[in-house]
Chain A
């Protein structure tokens, strides 16, 4: 199995390289923190005992419980801290990112006097377990909690956008590199049908489905992915049907395989066009036009940053085409797609991984930059960049600069280091 081969080669690389191993370990740790975020930073206690009843608020999906005719609301934020429980175990950071701690707002630093106002009007120093270790923001959100929950977004935007980019880049790059300009042959009628299909698909996807598509862009989230995915699916499916029809007619009239389809030139042109548009500017413009959402950001970054991947894939496929194992595969009459996907791909995958991992760093940087200038990201989620954005207005809050900045730096550093270390194994 080829996947196994790839896996073992990765394992070999890992065994040889100490730095890479450490980086991957650190990355795994960060990912774990992201997954465990609700239990590491939450304003609800993990376990507490109230009026003799054992409660697990942080794990619970309940909305409220009645204890002795008193309704305990699970959404009540900071009130859990002042609730007179018999005992309670809070997560290490006892705030959710959206919890507003008005007593310690605006902007209390890590070393400032942090207080807690009790319900009877008394104010006491904040107990150590409720302390804001990394300070608070203007609204009194806990910075540590925002950082922990922000990992999810930084990781997610990077990984999902690079999934899209890798899919596009590898497919197009492989096709361009393997077939070049002469490898793909189509008939006259097929060519005509291909051009007609573009118009037809445009009508189908962007005129008839215009409303649904714009609805998807407005609402964001999974719905956006679905709409874009479905549009792409429709497009590809219809193109294939048209091509197949054309081929059928071509075969009837014996027009088959007369034209070279210049896929290499087309892909290279598209790469050149995309490369000549400054990505950050285009993303800013795009996200200003549509309603900001993370799924849109993922899609935009994904569709704009596949060029580097495609270029390297193309180069690797060009090289691989000359190698003996490919020629022998061709000699035994193996299909093109089988050669591309099952035989060449596993061999060049580690090298393709380099631009993908660099792309991850780039995506993180783009997301953070956008949140920093406050364009194109939803407001209700606090990200690393948006914390820095707040600091931009108030330099005295150094903790809002230092900690989020370090977080972005660390993640980008890890990605870059991984990419550099992988690229050493040529």
Chain B
């Protein structure tokens, strides 16, 4: 078991590495100079003195963010370009310089050159740490451009909410759809199973933003029915300082109902159908007949024996449901103004705060990879045959 776990774990390292590369490519290709946004002010008015001050600030921030380093361990350049081209940061200047090279370079423009920079580069700094950075391996995602705060400090609280919602909604989805699935498997031709199958399929095709807006319009609107609060996740003014976890939960309960419906409904069809098919397959097998002959009640057979043996496909579904929930949070959180990662992503994109966007992507990818790992482990635990192959 442990050797299998270790093997799987090792396999995930290159995946994580690839995810960080993708994240970094996105980050370094983001338009605009982040330093510009950091020092930008509305009052600079066009006076020369201010422009000089700004330049000072820019150099400071560039150093702080490690932007004065080369991008990667190596770079592939034109032969005509100097090795230290990365030091030019002003976009217009770089453009001019490149145009100049293009004109004067001649044949050298078409010959590649590989430059080795060593580990003093932005990627290394970003992943493993360096000057003014501890690296994402130690949980440092850099500084948010718009808030000038460490990204991880901003995302910490938001991550908790997003995780809370995704985990609770997955538990809810399993909790609701497994009984439905079992009932459907028990009597596949009954009215209940046909109706529920139809309605669950309808729900499956409903876009979550449509359902979210409809729910808000219907259940948080004083003109129709106002049962649930329309936005947020906590009572006004936050929790009391000495509130226990349970009382916090109860305080937040009304705020959670609508978002949870939104998170959960679409995966119901999927899971319940899968439960139904895999259990009905199990029911055809011999051991169930033996169990029946032994005189076990139908309930025990269904819930204990059949369900346990059909757990495998259900676990696989977990690893397909989870990424969907994480991605879906963008929409649902922005509808219900839940202060989670999704809403933060939308805000960050609006203010072009790329470090946050990339951190969200990297974090949620890591989470997804972790969930795959969990699923694999569970899989191996349930079915010992897998460990051996």
> A and B: partners?
yes
Quick check: A281 and B327 within 8 Å, CB to CB? yes
The yes or no answer to B330 lying at the interface (CB within 8 A) is: yes
The one of A199, A290, A385, A392 that contacts B112, using a Cβ cutoff of 8 Å:
A199
Contact with B along A276-292 (1 / 0, CB 8 A): 11111110111011100
- Known contacts: A269-B14, A289-B31, A388-B210. The answer to whether A278 contacts B364 by CB under 8 A is yes
Docked complex Cα distance between A30 and B207 (Å): 19
Quick check: B372 and A276 within 8 Å, CB to CB? yes
Docked complex Cα distance between A279 and B320 (Å): 12
The one of A208, A277, A405 that contacts B207, using a Cβ cutoff of 8 Å:
A405
Docked complex Cα distance between A307 and B220 (Å): 40
Quick check: A281 and B112 within 8 Å, CB to CB? no
- Known contacts: A277-B19, A368-B207, A369-B331. The answer to whether A392 contacts B201 by CB under 8 A is no
Docked complex Cα distance between A401 and B358 (Å): 32
The yes or no answer to A412 lying at the interface (CB within 8 A) is: yes
The one of A278, A405, A408 that contacts B326, using a Cβ cutoff of 8 Å:
A278
The one of B216, B221, B323 that contacts A276, using a Cβ cutoff of 8 Å:
B323
Quick check: B368 and A401 within 8 Å, CB to CB? no
The yes or no answer to B345 lying at the interface (CB within 8 A) is: yes
The yes or no answer to B217 lying at the interface (CB within 8 A) is: yes
Contact with B along A358-383 (1 / 0, CB 8 A): 00010001001100110100000000
The yes or no answer to A233 lying at the interface (CB within 8 A) is: no
Quick check: A275 and B323 within 8 Å, CB to CB? yes
Contact with B along A197-224 (1 / 0, CB 8 A): 0011011000110000000000000000
Contact with A along B182-225 (1 / 0, CB 8 A): 00000000000000000001101111111001101100010000
Q: Which residues of B lie under 8 Å from residue A289 when comparing CB positions?
A: 26, 29-31, 354
Quick check: A269 and B327 within 8 Å, CB to CB? no
The yes or no answer to A273 lying at the interface (CB within 8 A) is: yes
The yes or no answer to B15 lying at the interface (CB within 8 A) is: yes
Q: Which residues of B lie under 8 Å from residue A361 when comparing CB positions?
A: 205
Q: How far is the CB of B374 from chain A (nearest CB, A)?
A: 13
The one of A269, A272, A405 that contacts B213, using a Cβ cutoff of 8 Å:
A405
Quick check: A368 and B78 within 8 Å, CB to CB? no
Quick check: B78 and A207 within 8 Å, CB to CB? yes
Quick check: B326 and A412 within 8 Å, CB to CB? no
Q: Which residues of A lie under 8 Å from residue B78 when comparing CB positions?
A: 207-208
Task: Kindly report which residue of chain A lies nearest to residue B210, judged by CB atoms.
Answer: A405
Q: Which residues of A lie under 8 Å from residue B110 when comparing CB positions?
A: 208
Q: Which residues of B lie under 8 Å from residue A199 when comparing CB positions?
A: 76, 112, 114
- Known contacts: A369-B207, A409-B207, A413-B205. The answer to whether A278 contacts B76 by CB under 8 A is no
Q: How far is the CB of A376 from chain B (nearest CB, A)?
A: 9
- Known contacts: A276-B15, A280-B327, A373-B331. The answer to whether A288 contacts B209 by CB under 8 A is no
The yes or no answer to B279 lying at the interface (CB within 8 A) is: no
Contact with B along A48-78 (1 / 0, CB 8 A): 0000000000000000000000000000000
- Known contacts: A272-B15, A280-B327, A365-B207. The answer to whether A202 contacts B76 by CB under 8 A is yes
Q: How far is the CB of B65 from chain A (nearest CB, A)?
A: 18
- Known contacts: A199-B114, A277-B365, A279-B327. The answer to whether A395 contacts B26 by CB under 8 A is no
Quick check: B330 and A391 within 8 Å, CB to CB? no
The yes or no answer to A416 lying at the interface (CB within 8 A) is: yes
- Known contacts: A208-B110, A276-B369. The answer to whether A285 contacts B19 by CB under 8 A is no
Task: Kindly report which residue of chain A lies nearest to residue B113, judged by CB atoms.
Answer: A203
The yes or no answer to B250 lying at the interface (CB within 8 A) is: no
Contact with A along B331-355 (1 / 0, CB 8 A): 1001100000000011001001010
Q: Which residues of A lie under 8 Å from residue B22 when comparing CB positions?
A: 273, 277, 282
The yes or no answer to A398 lying at the interface (CB within 8 A) is: yes
- Known contacts: A200-B112, A373-B331. The answer to whether A416 contacts B26 by CB under 8 A is no
Quick check: A412 and B76 within 8 Å, CB to CB? no
- Known contacts: A284-B330, A289-B26, A405-B210. The answer to whether A412 contacts B205 by CB under 8 A is yes
Quick check: B331 and A401 within 8 Å, CB to CB? no
Quick check: A373 and B334 within 8 Å, CB to CB? yes
- Known contacts: A398-B217, A412-B207. The answer to whether A285 contacts B358 by CB under 8 A is yes
Q: How far is the CB of A408 from chain B (nearest CB, A)?
A: 5
Q: Which residues of B lie under 8 Å from residue A412 when comparing CB positions?
A: 205-207
Docked complex Cα distance between A385 and B209 (Å): 9
Question: Which of B31, B202, B210, B364 has most A Cβ within 10 Å?
Answer: B210
Q: Which residues of A lie under 8 Å from residue B210 when comparing CB positions?
A: 388, 401, 405, 408-409
Contact with B along A323-354 (1 / 0, CB 8 A): 00000000000000000000000000000000
The yes or no answer to B18 lying at the interface (CB within 8 A) is: yes
Question: Which of B30, B112, B352 has most A Cβ within 10 Å?
Answer: B112
Quick check: A273 and B15 within 8 Å, CB to CB? yes
Docked complex Cα distance between A417 and B30 (Å): 40
The yes or no answer to B254 lying at the interface (CB within 8 A) is: no
Quick check: B217 and A401 within 8 Å, CB to CB? yes
Contact with A along B80-96 (1 / 0, CB 8 A): 00000000000000000
Docked complex Cα distance between A365 and B205 (Å): 9
Docked complex Cα distance between A155 and B335 (Å): 25
* Residues in B2-45 with C-beta less than 8 Å from chain A: 14-15, 18-19, 22, 26, 29-31
Quick check: B213 and A392 within 8 Å, CB to CB? yes
The one of B202, B213, B364 that contacts A413, using a Cβ cutoff of 8 Å:
B202
The yes or no answer to B143 lying at the interface (CB within 8 A) is: no
Docked complex Cα distance between A34 and B358 (Å): 37
* Residues in A246-295 with C-beta less than 8 Å from chain B: 269, 272-273, 275-282, 284-286, 288-290
The yes or no answer to B361 lying at the interface (CB within 8 A) is: yes
Docked complex Cα distance between A269 and B16 (Å): 11
Residues of B within 8 A of A (CB): 14-15, 18-19, 22, 26, 29-31, 76-78, 109-110, 112, 114, 201-202, 204-210, 213-214, 216-217, 221, 323, 326-328, 330-331, 334-335, 345-346, 349, 352, 354, 357-358, 360-361, 364-365, 368-369, 372
26 A-B pairs within 8 Å (CB atoms) are namely A207-B76, A207-B78, A269-B15, A273-B15, A275-B368, A277-B364, A277-B368, A278-B323, A281-B330, A281-B345, A284-B330, A284-B346, A285-B357, A289-B354, A365-B207, A368-B209, A372-B331, A373-B330, A373-B334, A373-B346, A388-B210, A392-B213, A392-B335, A395-B213, A401-B217, A412-B206
Residues of A within 8 A of B (CB): 199-200, 202-203, 207-208, 269, 272-273, 275-282, 284-286, 288-290, 361, 365, 368-369, 372-373, 375, 385, 388, 391-392, 395, 398, 401, 405, 408-409, 412-413, 416-417, 420
* Given A208-B109, A289-B29, 16 new contacts (CB under 8 A): A208-B110, A269-B15, A273-B15, A276-B19, A277-B22, A277-B364, A279-B323, A282-B361, A284-B345, A288-B352, A288-B357, A365-B207, A388-B210, A401-B210, A405-B207, A409-B207
List of 10 A-B pairs having minimum Cβ-Cβ separation, nearest first: A405-B210, A278-B327, A280-B327, A203-B112, A413-B205, A288-B349, A276-B368, A412-B205, A372-B209, A273-B18
